[in-house]
Every structure is written in C-alpha cells, then in structure tokens.
Amino acid sequence: MTRFIINQKIKKGAIPGKPVFIGKQKEENVRIRLIGFDATNFVEIELENLNEIASYKEKYANIWINIDGLHDVAILKEVGLLFNMHPIVTESIAHTGSRAKVDIEENYIFTIIKMMLLNPQKKELEAEQVSMYLTKNILLTFQEKQGDIFEPIRERLRTGKGRVRTHNTTYLKYCLLDTIVENYNFLLEVFGLRVEELEDKILLQPSKNTLKEINATKIELNYFRKTIRPTKEAISNFKSFKTDLITKKEQPFFNDLNELIHRAHENLENYKSMLSEQLTVYSTNLNNRLNDIMKVLTMFSVIFIPITFIAGIYGTNFDYIPELKYKNSYFIMLGSMLFIIISMVSYFKYKKWF
C-alpha cells in the first residue's frame, strides 16, 4: 500500500507556497545538468552551482536544465528565485505525491507527470515524479533520481539527428512528454501479454497460483490507473488553453500527445475488464471442478454405504469365515487397506483434486 499512499504529516501546518520535501530521498546529492543547443551548436555540462547558468543563456538559443534530486529545498528555492517561479510551483515540485497537472500561464507552462518503470526483480511498477517548467527558450526538468528514459532524446541532441536541434524548447518538452506517454503504452503491452497468458492458464489448467497472478496483475493495473487518469485530464489542457509558448506549428504535436494518452487509458481499462472477466471464469471453473469432485465422492458413498450398512448389522459374525483360519489373513487385510488408500490418493492427485 506504500506505493499508493505518501505520508504527508510533515506538511501539516506548513505555510502555503513554502516548498517542503515530501517523499523518499532517492539521491545523496543534487545533480544539475545543462544542455545548450541550436541548429549548429551544442554543449552538455554538469554544473557546480546555479550561477553558471547565466553565461550559457547568452551563448545558446535553447537551454535545457535537468535537476536530479528534490530533497534539497534550498536549491529549489534558489531555482524558483532565479527563474521567477510562483511559490506554488516550487511547492508542487518538492511534493513527490503531487497529482499530474498542466498549468498554462502567460509566460510559463508548468507540468507534473509520472514516469513509470517496471522493476524486473519485483515485477512491479515504480513511479517517479517529473516536473517540467517551460519559459521562453528555457526548459527546466526536475526528477527524483538519476536515470530516466530520456537518453534517446539526449543522444539526438548530441548527434543532431531528427528535428529536436532545429526546434525550440517547446518542442523539446513535447518530446519528453511523448517519451513518457509512449512508455505507458509499451508497459501496457507487457501487461497485455501477461493478461493473455493468464487467460490461457485459466482455460487450460487453473490453480491457486493463477489466482495469485490475477490479483497481482490487477494491483499493478490499479496502480497504473492511479497515474494515467490524472495524466489524461492534464494533457487535455494543451488543447483547450492557448499560449504564445505553443505556436500553431507546434500545436499538432500536443494534439497527438492527447491521442496517445487516450489510447493508453483505453488499453488500461480494457485489460482491467479482461481481468475481471478472468476472475469470473476462474470462479466458474473452480465451482465446476468442485461439482465434479462431489459427483465422484457421492458415487463412492452410494456404492459403499449400503455395504457398510449390511456389514454393520451382521458384523460379519458368521460361524464359517475361511479367512480367519488363514495365518496371513491379517496382513492381507492391512495390505488391501494400504492399497486402497494409495490408489485413492493417486487418483485424486491425477485429477488434481489435491
């Protein structure tokens, strides 16, 4: 449940607009990276402090500043003052449990979105908050830790491939958002294969482990839904709001982004419905198997109860019982009992009733 709920006691009674770090610290030190670029020039450097930014702003038409680590509130305050951020913006950046949103104002666009990753060991989804603050020719991104899915974009900037070097930071922001949303669809394909495999298991050979897998997958999709639903609402704002930071030439890219997130949401809902139907099918199959077991046990009961009834009345107390005079009769009886027990257990295991 810790993935769904973030402890916010530290924020209780805090002054509105004052940045307070809420979440789990994932980096020991804050890392600040700067990329400056235009059609012909490029630089990538790690900054020691924020004062170095001014010299690069004069040399390059577009600046991308990425900050890894949100626990140092002093740095967030310094960034806020340097770029004239509203206090609510810096407060939202420091709160790693913030809901996905897009705030479009006259001179900036502020976006919060969750970047989803699949932990290969735990086979669980992990979410990282990514905040983006776009002003004219400058894009600031804030991440909880180092390592992300943006490396292909950085590589295109380094090599000059594609159109990202010839466009501005608005297009760069679209590329980052597009990468995150495309990754949603990729992860949903992974879960889609998982759901289809579960369907085959339910129909061919359902077991207790199958039920565990269904429930585990359902939990992951619920966690995914917690991210996608607010993201879909937030990205739709790019269509309804107008700003000078997004030109008519760039608007179609954000419209396409809106379609991508809608597709991800629809796929997620489809997989959730499939899982619910699988649970129904699993329960039906389980009931059918139980009915089959009861039929067989009833047949045994019907056969042996009359025999047991007759034996109980007479007690097999007859004057002439040949087996009583045979010296190995007792051991034959024990062997017969053991043989019947082993045969019944083997039959039940063969039928997978155990």
Lookup: tokens for 25: 């610290």
Q: What is the pTM of this model?
A: 0.79
Provide the pLDDT for residue 266. Answer: 93
| pLDDT tens for the 354 residues of the chain, in order | 455 555 555 555 455 667 788 878 888 889 999 999 998 899 999 998 888 888 888 889 999 999 999 988 999 999 999 999 999 999 999 988 888 999 988 889 999 999 999 888 888 899 999 999 999 899 999 999 988 899 999 999 999 888 899 899 999 999 999 999 999 999 999 998 988 888 888 877 777 788 888 888 888 999 999 889 999 999 988 877 778 888 888 889 999 999 999 999 999 999 888 888 888 888 777 777 777 778 777 777 777 777 676 666 666 666 777 777 777 877 877 888 788 878 877 877 787 665
Lookup: tokens for 40: 């012909």
Of the candidates 30, 63, 207, 209, which has an alpha carbon nearest to the alpha carbon of residue 137? 63
Of the candidates 176, 186, 179, which has an alpha carbon nearest to the alpha carbon of residue 142? 176
In angstroms, rounded to a whole number, what is the distance separating the alpha carbons of residues 185 and 265?
Answer: 9
Any idea what the Cα angle at residue 225 is, between residues 220 and 227, rounded to 5°?
Answer: 105
Of the candidates 115, 281, 157, 308, which has an alpha carbon nearest to the alpha carbon of residue 210? 281
Provide the pLDDT for residue 209. Answer: 83
Lookup: tokens for 255: 């419209």
Provide the pLDDT for residue 6. Answer: 58
In angstroms, rounded to a whole number, what is the distance separating the alpha carbons of residues 175 and 169?
Answer: 10
Of the candidates 82, 130, 137, 95, which has an alpha carbon nearest to the alpha carbon of residue 110? 130
